[in-house]
Amino acid sequence: MYRLQQPTIAPFPQARRKLLPPAFQFPAFRAYWGGMLASVSGSQMFIFIQVVLAHELVKSPLFLGYVGLANAIPSILLNLYGGVFADRLDKRRLMIVTQAISGLLLFLLATLVLLQLLQPWHLLTIAFLTGAVNAFDQATRQAIVPDLVDQKSLMSASALTGIIWQGTRIASPAIAGLILVWIGTATSIYVAGAGFLVMMVVMVRLRVPKAPVAHHGSAAREIADGLKFIKTSPIFSFLIGMTFFNSFFAISFAWLMPIFAMDILHVGAGGQGLLLAMTGIGGLLVSVLLSTAGRFPRPRLLIVGGAVVTGLSLAAFATTAELIGSFPLAMALMFILGLSSTAYMTAIRTLLLVLVPRHMLGRVMGFYSMMWSITPLGGMQAAFLANFIGAPAAVAIGGLAVAIFAIGPALLSKRLRNLESELLQAHAASEAHAPR
């Protein structure tokens, strides 16, 4: 297996270095993290602005759904090809291209708004194109992380990435809204597009050791090889399966949150915002805590325990909201949900980065990214189920499905029961191949 030359530690005094999270001790990752912060902020701002524009152009909930589908469908269909490209091509250059295209697409949208030329089909087309580009970007930005830190700092790197997603999910829509109101819609889109271009500049300047590229045949053949690799390994099948259950069953509660806030808890849109904010605060807190960690000694406990707590807290939220109707209790359960779900998903992402062979990492992360892209489909199944049995029962069933899937394979598979030893062997092999 290819082993990357260990990245250089930042030239900080020893006392100051100890204050930094492990991944931040690597200058390449610090630069990458800053670029990611700008890029993800731009992406979250664009999601918010896109909804505003859709509502202004066509005052129809159906058109909002069309815009969401236009963004999600190419991402779902092309994620696997994005993983193939991440294995075939230089990841740094691929990210330069994807970030540049994303930024230019948003600049085009902003110019159409500025010139008052925007039509509904423009918005749908740009949503489709950004979704397609994002499919190639997602797997690449995941697969490049092991090039930037050493193996024992991957948990810290994953958690620090989680801080970006949790933090921008809370702050970016508010920032976009303020710019939109005070300066104008076009300016807010230009600012969002600039975030992608900042990441492009960071990647142009970044020096990443060359990783091996895989090119064994057609893209379809390489996707099939990636699927075969996942299917033949109980560990990777479990980790990808857990990601699917989280995206399809756990996160689907967000689509039904208006029903809980308005019809069950009677707290209105403001209460709905607070409930969703509690999940973000819980996720942000656990990401900060995990960012200071080095190796995690008991990954099976973190993944299985975190998934069980996630599933049970989701089921408890749904049932207590209907039976008790306590808003403070609902907020507390949403906070626990944010803590536990972020903890086990961070552990899953870290294990994939540590255990997957480098020549296969892009394709595996392509499957991982595709599991996240199907989240809107999970929302659709939850809404369909709620139409027949009610929102509380639909959400509770989703939560129990997550908990049951986490427990079953973990008890039945010998390799999963010995996950800790697999991780220790991977760390030992990495250290054995590290330069002296």
Name the percent of the chain lying above pLDDT 90. 32
Q: Give the whole-angstrom CA distance, residue 124 versus residue 68.
A: 9
The verdict on 167 and 310 lying in the same domain is: no
Domain residues for 92? Answer: 1-9+19-211
Does the pLDDT value for residue 432 go beyond 70?
A: no
Assess whether 280 and 316 both reside in one domain.
yes
pLDDT band at 40 (very low <50, low <70, confident <90, very high): very high
Residues 203 and 231 in one domain: no
Whether the predicted pLDDT of 431 surpasses 60: no
pLDDT tens, position by position, 93-134? 999 999 999 999 999 999 999 998 989 899 999 999 998 999
Q: Are residues 236 and 347 in the same domain?
A: yes
Residues whose CB is less than 8 angstroms from the CB of residue 190 and which lie 6 or more positions away in sequence, other chains included: 106, 107, 110
Same domain, yes or no: 156 and 279: no
Give pLDDT tens digits for 385-420. 888 898 899 999 999 999 999 888 766 666 666 666
Do residue 195 and residue 331 come from a single domain? no
Same structural domain for residues 200 and 341?
Answer: no
pTM: 0.81
CA 375, CA 345: separation in Å to the nearest integer? 15
Structure confidence by residue, pLDDT tens digits, 53-74 = 887 888 766 676 677 778 888 8
pLDDT of 89: 82
* Angle subtended at Cα 277 by Cα 274 and Cα 280, rounded to the nearest 5 degrees: 160
Distance CA 254, CA 235 (A): 29
Counting the structural domains of the chain, the total is 2
**Which pair of structure tokens corresponds to residue 181?**
């109101």
Phi, psi of 234, rounded to the nearest 5 degrees: -60, -35
Q: What is the pLDDT of residue 16?
A: 52
What's 293's domain CATH number? 1.20.1250.20
Q: For residue 348, is pLDDT > 70? A: yes
Q: Give per-residue pLDDT as tens, 263-283.
A: 899 988 678 778 888 888 898
Is the pLDDT at 191 greater than 90? The verdict is yes
